[in-house]
Amino acid sequence: MLLTVLLARVDLAGSFCGVDYLIIDEFALISRNTYEQYLRPTLADREGWALFCSTPRGFNHGWDYFKYGESEDYPEWISWRFPSTDSPYFKDNINDLKRTLTKETFRQEILCEFQSYQGKCFPLDRFQSVREDIKYDPSKPVYAGVDPGYRQAHVVICQLRNETDRFADIHQIDEISLTNSTTQQLADAMKAKPYHYTAIYGDPAGSGMNLQSGRSDWSVFAANNLRVTIKRDAVTRNVVSGVSHMRSWFEDADGKTHFFMHPKCKESLSSYENYHYPEHKAEQSLRHEPVKDGREHACDALRFMIVNLFPIRNNKAGMVDFVSSIR
């Protein structure tokens, strides 16, 4: 939620004559220019003050303003940080959040620390995650995530272990990676595998008409008795939220790994290890979308599966953010 509250005065003629108090929620999500060029001047006439409340969003202007309040060079500023762990009403949720959030997300969203992602998206340790014993168990359900495409199509095939009602370890037992292929060829490749798919999850964009076949990707799958489940809500489709959600399987806030894969999944491994955030950004943010350079297809396929099996929850309830104020 983005909230701006202006407590202003008007003169006897009803004309606007400045702002006494300015309160901005989620300040880190608005641009520096919006405040400095448009909002800050409204405080000048009446020597008003401003209160900025926000969850940190990388080392951007929110960080700069927060540091003003910690510096002796800016005596008119004051800053506070209120992590959720200080709340007596939030302690029961901490262990659950540590398991389902990445270190960076936990530190940002719960501890209210300023974080920045640099380099690759997933902290995958191949010596820990890539194992020969990650094999198909016929007694367990099989799930697939599909990212179709003519130039590059990818399928991740997984099973779950140590399931709870909201979490599980993910074992990737197999993959399909095709180049310059049709949707029918992708469906044929999936049917050629020795698995009964409990559920298949895919890109909502696959419902659109394919220019090559004149049919949608998922209608071709349906004609091959492969039913694809998709979610169209904004949270599920958001790449940034989905990638952040996925990271907790590669490494949770306690440093534990919950994603494992067989070494034959070479294309997937390359995708996971090379999926990266943009470099050389002066205000790199936790919310920044990864680069699309052709190496993201396995990551997209895995994301479609994870966000459907384990929907993204709003973990912000009860969180208290950093507050910065100019008096």
At 62, which helix (H) or strand (E)?
helix 61-68
Secondary-structure percent of the chain, ordered helix, strand, coil, rounded to 5: 30, 25, 45
The arithmetic mean of pLDDT across residues 151-169, rounded, is: 90
User: pLDDT at position 4, please?
Assistant: 42
Hey, which of 29-33, 138-142, 147-151, 161-165 has the most confident mean pLDDT? 138-142
Show Cβ contacts of residue 279 under 8 Å, excluding neighbours closer than 6 positions. Answer: 118, 119
pLDDT of residue 154: 97
What is the structure's pLDDT at 8? Answer: 43
Supply the pTM of this predicted model.
0.65
Q: Are 327 and 78 in contact (CB under 8 A)?
A: yes
* Rounded CA separation 250/304 (Å): 16
pLDDT at 286 over 70: no
Reported as a pLDDT band with limits 50, 70 and 90, residue 182 is: very high
- The reported pLDDT for the residue numbered 95 is 75
Query: Looking at this protein, which amino acid is placed at residue 93?
Result: N
**Dihedrals φ, ψ of 40, to 5°?**
-60, -40
Q: What is the DSSP letter of 324?
A: E
Side chain identity at residue 102, one-letter code: T
Position with higher pLDDT, 165 vs 21: 21
Angle separating helix axes 239-250 and 297-309, nearest 10 degrees: 80
pLDDT for residue 322: 43
Whether 3 shows a pLDDT value over 70: the answer reads: no
Q: Is the pLDDT of residue 240 over 90?
A: no
Question: Are residues 323 and 76 in contact, defined by beta-carbon separation less than 8 angstroms?
Answer: no
Domains in the chain (CATH in brackets) are: 3-90+319-326 (no CATH), 126-309 (3.30.420.280)
* 279 confidence band (pLDDT: 50, 70, 90): low
* pLDDT above 80 for 281: no
Task: Give the pair of three-digit tokens for residue 200.
Answer: 């298949």
What does the pLDDT average to over 24-53?
84
128 vs 259: CA distance, rounded Å = 9
Q: State the Cα–Cα distance between residues 217 and 149, nearest whole angstrom.
A: 9
Judged against a pLDDT cut of 70, whether residue 327 lies above it is answered with no
The angle formed by the CA atoms of residues 136, 141 and 142, to the nearest 5 degrees, is 60
CB count, 10 Å around CB of 76?
Answer: 10
pLDDT of residue 35: 84
The residue ranking higher by pLDDT, 315 or 95, is 95
- State the pLDDT at residue 294: 82
Average confidence (pLDDT) over 182-193: 96
pLDDT (average), residues 274-302:
75
DSSP string, 73-96: T-TTEEEEE--GGG-TTTGGGHHH
pLDDT at position 119 is 67
The yes-or-no verdict on residue 284 having pLDDT over 60 is no
Position 11 scores a pLDDT of 47
